[in-house]
Amino acid sequence: MADQGFPSQHTTTTTVTSTEIISNLRYDNTYFYTLSGKLKIAQIVLVLLSLIAASFSTYSVWYQNSAVTSISMFGFWFSLFMLVFYVFHVVECFYKIPWLKIEMIFNVCWPILYLLSAASAAAYTGLHLSYMISLLFGFGAMFVYGYDALLKYQSVQRGEIAQGNIAIHKQTTSSPVTAAY
């Protein structure tokens, strides 16, 4: 005789999570067509244009300008390396490295550094035309880095990996409960 407070069946759900990666280096240009790839290209282009415009400014020898150029160069090289890593699936080969967290931290720090250096440089230089163009591209890059940071944060919260697939398989089984007397 079954107790009235207990169900007559027991349900068990088993969740198996596996990571599906291909661990060889290969060229894959489909990354350029993803949102993340387009953002990386936009970061590289905007930072490079900001750097070129700042270099042609009459204030290019001032120390405030060296902060803008240093931040632009480091942002350019980091974004370029990450783009190459994604296109050649280096990120997928080393999937245990928390690439999304690394990129998220970089993409959070870089707009802040860009804003501080550009604001201090703009306050001291009097805004020459080429320097205003540099700051315009720099602020554009700042917003692209910020949006990319938001996307990386959402991906980290969902438990995604940077490249490759995480397959989640759920299996539900039901079995009758037998009374033990």
Say what the pLDDT of residue 56 is: 77
- In the predicted model, is pLDDT for residue 5 greater than 70? no
Give CA 16 to chain center in angstroms. 27
Domain assignment present for residue 110? The answer is yes
Say what the pLDDT of residue 24 is: 76
Q: List the end-to-end C-alpha distance of the chain, in Å, as a whole number.
A: 10
Q: Per the structure block, which two tokens stand in for 39? A: 């953002």
Average pLDDT of span 134-157: 91
Domain assignment present for residue 148? The answer is yes
Average pLDDT of span 113-141: 77
Spell out the residues 6+ positions from residue 144 whose beta carbon is closer than 8 angstroms to its own.
39, 42, 43, 46
Average pLDDT of span 40-48: 94
- In the predicted model, is pLDDT for residue 6 greater than 60? no
Nearest by Cα to 122 from 59, 175, 165? 59
Gap between the Cα atoms of 98 and 156, Å rounded: 9
Domain assignment present for residue 76? The answer is yes
- In the predicted model, is pLDDT for residue 46 greater than 70? yes
128-140 pLDDT, tens digit per residue, is 777 778 788 888 9
Domain assignment present for residue 179? The answer is no
For 14, the 3-state DSSP assignment is: strand
Helix and strand counts by DSSP (H, E) for the chain: 5, 2
25-42 pLDDT, tens digit per residue, is 888 888 899 999 999 999
Nearest by Cα to 73 from 102, 95, 103, 52? 52
**Lowest mean pLDDT across 97-101, 111-115, 127-131, 133-137:** 127-131
- In the predicted model, is pLDDT for residue 167 greater than 60? no
Count of domains for the chain: 1
DSSP string of 96-107, one letter each residue:
TS-HHHHHHHHH
Say what the pLDDT of residue 35 is: 93
What range defines the domain where residue 58 resides?
11-174
pLDDT band at 17 (very low <50, low <70, confident <90, very high): low
Contact 92, 39 (CB under 8 A): no
Burial 152-177 (b: 16+ CB within 10 A, else e): beebbeeeebbbbeeeeeeeeeeeee
Distances, alpha carbon 87 to alpha carbons 1, 50, 66, 105, in Å: 64, 25, 31, 21
Domain assignment present for residue 180? The answer is no
Give percent of the chain with pLDDT exceeding 70.
70
